Amino acid sequence: MTLTQAVTDELTAILGARFVTSGAGVAQHGRDESPLDDAAPEGVAYPDSTQEVAATVRACARHRVPVIPFGAGTSLEGHVLATSGGVSLDTTRMDSTLAIRASDMDATVQAGVTRDVLNDRLAREGLFFPVDPGADATIGGMAATGASGTTTVKYGAMRENVLNLRVVLADGLVVDTAQRARKSSAGYDLTRLFIGSEGTLGVITEVTVRLYGIPEAISSATCRFPDVERAVDAATAVMQVGIDIARIEFLDELSIEAINAFSGSAHQVAPTLFLEFHGSPDGVLERSKAVENVILGFGAIDYRAASRQEGADLWRARHDHFYATRALRPGARAVTTDVCVPISRLAECIVAARAEILASSLTATIAGHVGDGNFHVVILVDPDDENEMTRVEDLNHRLVDRALEAEGTCTGEHGIGLRKTSFLERELPEGVEVMRSIKRALDPQNLMNPGKVLRTS
């Protein structure tokens, strides 16, 4: 326990009833969408502003209380679990859109604004924010995780779409990482340093993001293949030809079965690509035809353009993939892997993953942002079945081993959190030492989301 009466009194003085130490809310803050056991914080703070975050962090620093930032709780690697106790810093109340600047194509939001809320507010300006991890995560959480998703193949990840951040450091100092210009060479890239730092270097309180005009035309298509290898090879070829595509997603047969059952859709069960094009009406037509030509050369069963409504259903179904998989076996937990490899190695990695799923007698779906070389195996597991848990861990290790051997990474977008610290040490053995140096320099007491990204020795 780190939360003494003195700290509680100080935090109550800052936040009043917005600092709580009991009730269902506290337990909920020890849980995300990872398969890990809950680890509740000792208290939850609900600040309204950067100033309140700074005051909270300063009080915690004085008393050596860990601070764990909490957005929408949709992280997949235990990022928000309070494994060393401390205070969960919930950004829910920080949900103001501070500025939408249509003429600069950017917006500044508080960290707790979710991407759906932001896009609702942007739609009336004809603008949108493209990064789309599926879940309705907060923009602050997405920045902290270095999120990406289905549209990254065209628009990039958070890394490419954040202009600057306001961050509260471990000692309470408020730092702006950059000005608002679209590019900058002004010193070390602090913006990118905090993107993907998972709350371990500071608390992100405001984010300025790049915006895009809502495309004049959006068209979707589905394409089924006789086997997994040809589907992934076709997707890889589309990337190599360099066709401007907004989304290119792979789903295996069980994924299609799962989303059919979950969403009531009736997609024919086969390895499938979901595609989307953004642009002018002529442009999307030209690109869709170009992709069709490439794909049919790989023995696709069909290539079917989707109507506007079908397209919307398609992407909702894709976003439900994780929950649809989990629903295949009620009560099971879902373990999601997240390797990302150079695209020339993607087909062999997915084919091997599939063979290993079969050999291990586990239930798992495969879905991937194949344009980026990133795919997820969502494995269902009964946490009380030790034998099954061991097989899941073995499978996960083999996937990561193969990804590293292919010069890929153990995480394309979910981050390290608690579960991948040892993978990170294998992936970047010297890099981890540099990360430790930076962590020590910016958080010498190891109070900012301790144990995440870097193992506490």
Interaction residues for a copy of itself, span 209-268 (CB under 8 A):
212-213, 236, 239-242, 244
Which residue stretch of 20-28, 41-49, 302-310, 366-374 sits at the interface with a copy of itself (rule: CB under 8 A)?
Answer: 366-374
Interaction residues for a copy of itself, span 271-290 (CB under 8 A):
279-280, 282-283, 286
Q: Can you read off the two tokens belonging to residue 410?
A: 């153990």
SS3 203: strand
Contact between 140 and a copy of itself by CB under 8 A: the answer reads: no
Cα–Cα distance, 211 to 308 (Å, whole number): 23
At its nearest, how many Å lie between a copy of itself and the CB of residue 153?
9
Interaction residues for a copy of itself, span 11-70 (CB under 8 A):
none
At its nearest, how many Å lie between a copy of itself and the CB of residue 164?
9
Identified binder of a copy of itself from the candidate list 188, 309, 384, 386, rule CB under 8 A: 188
Identified binder of a copy of itself from the candidate list 58, 262, 438, 446, rule CB under 8 A: 438
Interaction residues for a copy of itself, span 97-136 (CB under 8 A):
101-106
Interaction residues for a copy of itself, span 142-171 (CB under 8 A):
145-148, 152, 156-157, 159-160, 169
Site size toward a copy of itself (CB under 8 A) is: 91
Cα–Cα distance, 123 to 166 (Å, whole number): 25
222, 275 Cβ separation under 8 angstroms: yes
Interaction residues for a copy of itself, span 189-208 (CB under 8 A):
189-190, 192-193, 195-197, 201
| DSSP letters spanning 228-270 | HHHHHHHHHHHHHHT---SEEEEE-HHHHHHHHHHH-----SS
Identified binder of a copy of itself from the candidate list 373, 388, 391, 402, rule CB under 8 A: 373
Cα–Cα distance, 79 to 137 (Å, whole number): 13
Interaction residues for a copy of itself, span 377-436 (CB under 8 A):
403-404, 407-416, 420, 424, 427-428, 430-435
179: which residues sit within 8 A by CB, 6+ positions away?
164, 186
Neighbour-count burial of 6, counting CB atoms closer than 10 A to its CB (0-12 exposed, 13-18 middle, 19+ buried):
exposed
Identified binder of a copy of itself from the candidate list 22, 51, 179, 390, rule CB under 8 A: 179
At its nearest, how many Å lie between a copy of itself and the CB of residue 354?
20
At its nearest, how many Å lie between a copy of itself and the CB of residue 192?
3
* Of 71, 64, 66, nearest in space to 41 by CA: 66
* Of 242, 252, 243, nearest in space to 272 by CA: 252
Contact between 177 and a copy of itself by CB under 8 A: the answer reads: yes
Token pair 């295996």 is found at 252
- Residue closer to a copy of itself (CB basis): 267 or 420: 420
236: which residues sit within 8 A by CB, 6+ positions away?
343, 344, 346, 347, 370
- Residue closer to a copy of itself (CB basis): 15 or 343: 343
Neighbour-count burial of 187, counting CB atoms closer than 10 A to its CB (0-12 exposed, 13-18 middle, 19+ buried):
exposed
At its nearest, how many Å lie between a copy of itself and the CB of residue 23?
33
Cα–Cα distance, 322 to 144 (Å, whole number): 21
At its nearest, how many Å lie between a copy of itself and the CB of residue 135?
15
- For helices 50-62 and 5-15, give the axis angle rounded to 10 degrees: 170
- Residue closer to a copy of itself (CB basis): 186 or 359: 186
At its nearest, how many Å lie between a copy of itself and the CB of residue 15?
24
- Residue closer to a copy of itself (CB basis): 63 or 159: 159
At its nearest, how many Å lie between a copy of itself and the CB of residue 9?
29
At its nearest, how many Å lie between a copy of itself and the CB of residue 8?
29
- Residue closer to a copy of itself (CB basis): 308 or 440: 440
Which residue stretch of 9-17, 65-73, 357-365, 437-445 sits at the interface with a copy of itself (rule: CB under 8 A)?
Answer: 437-445
Which residue stretch of 10-18, 226-234, 296-304, 335-343 sits at the interface with a copy of itself (rule: CB under 8 A)?
Answer: 335-343
Cα–Cα distance, 114 to 111 (Å, whole number): 8
- Sign of the alpha-carbon torsion through 138, 337, 306, 292: positive
Alpha helix segments (H runs only) across 89-227: 115-123, 139-145, 152-155, 158-161, 190-194
- Residue closer to a copy of itself (CB basis): 195 or 270: 195
SS3 108: strand
